[in-house]
Amino acid sequence: MKLLRYGPKGDEKPGLLDPEGMVRDLSEVIEDLTSAHLGKATLARLAALDWRTLPVAPPARIAPIVADTGKLICVGLNYSDHAAESGMAVPNEPVLFMKASSAIIGCNDPVVLPRDSVKSDWEVELGVVIGARARYVEEHEALDYVAGYCVVNDLSEREYQLERGGTWDKGKGCDTFGPVGPWLVTTDDVPDPQDLDMWLEVNGKRYQQGSTRTMVFNVAQLVSYISRFMTLNPGDIISTGTPPGVGLGQRPDPVYLRAGDTMRLGIAGLGEQRQTVHAWDPELIDG
């Protein structure tokens, strides 16, 4: 099942992508796709609906997949070949950092570069959407706490991240640096999260081509591990790391995003994103 939210900012509605690729309105069933609707019982109720009886939604903006995501937790250097291109060692334990919830945008919303940014970069990643509160979860049961999966573009300002002191967070949490979606694909439609091809293009050139098969730490390991350091609540998203091909790793010279660039990225079965990059403009963020 593919769930989504659509509509202008502040007036989003819940939806379901039907088998024919049409968005069906779920407003008469749930008021919005919130953390309260990600439990197994509600997802089972939605899956049992006859989608043919749901009204077809009008064309509209695709919004962030969950209305009230509390935390966007990211995993660094989770592909060994990406660690190598970054000049960093493969970690013995997952590297964790946080992305501000204010970074979260819809999958095709404008990406706005921070003021004076010179090293903004791209990263296609598998997102894991938590469906039940997880605390000290054992690895063998970790996937039971997952509602579904999505595409994440973990945008990063590398100067802020690596050259400005402190933790990585300041280069990761910039406004618009967390596009998610287009859909929340429930676990019944993702038989194996460790067998998903992924890719990213900038201005039509493919830079990233990888697979979740090559993760250092798999999804079950990550959910279990992170639950030992913080409570994972329904609606939280774990962004699980990126394969090689980021701008920082290009040779002989790094390639970074500029205003006017376009990004396309996707993961098999989870849909595609497309963003246009803009110079600093708060109206594009708030509008």
List per-residue pLDDT tens for the chain, 287 residues long: 999 999 999 999 999 999 999 999 999 999 999 999 999 999 999 999 999 999 999 999 999 999 999 999 999 989 887 878 878 788 899 999 999 999 999 999 999 999 999 999 999 999 999 999 999 999 999 999 999 999 999 999 999 999 998 789 999 999 999 999 999 999 999 999 999 999 999 999 999 999 999 999 999 999 999 999 999 999 999 999 999 999 999 999 999 999 999 999 999 999 999 999 999 999 999 98
> Number of folded domains in the chain?
1
Residue 33 in domain: no
Q: What pLDDT shows up at residue 56?
A: 98
CATH number, domain with residue 76: 3.90.850.10
In a domain, 3, yes or no: no
Question: Does 6 map to a domain?
Answer: no
pLDDT for 287 equals 80
User: Is 23 in contact with 15 (CB distance < 8 Å)?
Assistant: yes
Q: Is residue 58 part of a domain?
A: no
**Range of the structural domain that residue 102 is part of:** 67-286
Would 185 be classed as within a structural domain?
yes
Q: What is the DSSP string of the chain?
A: -EEEEESSTT--EEEEE-TTS-EEE-TTT-SS--GGG-SHHHHHHHHTS-GGGSPBPPS-PEEPSSTT---EEEEES-BHHHHHHTT-PPPSS-EEEEE-GGGEE-TTSPEEPPTT---EE--EEEEEEE-S-BSS--GGGGGGGEEEEEEEE--EEHHHHHHSSS-THHHH-STT-EEB-S-EEEGGG-S-TTS-EEEEEETTEEEEEEEGGGBSS-HHHHHHHHTTTS-B-TT-EEE----S--GGG-SSS-----TT-EEEEEETTTEEEEEEEE-S-HHHHH-
Q: Is residue 9, in this structure, part of any structural domain at all?
A: no
User: Within a domain: residue 176?
Assistant: yes
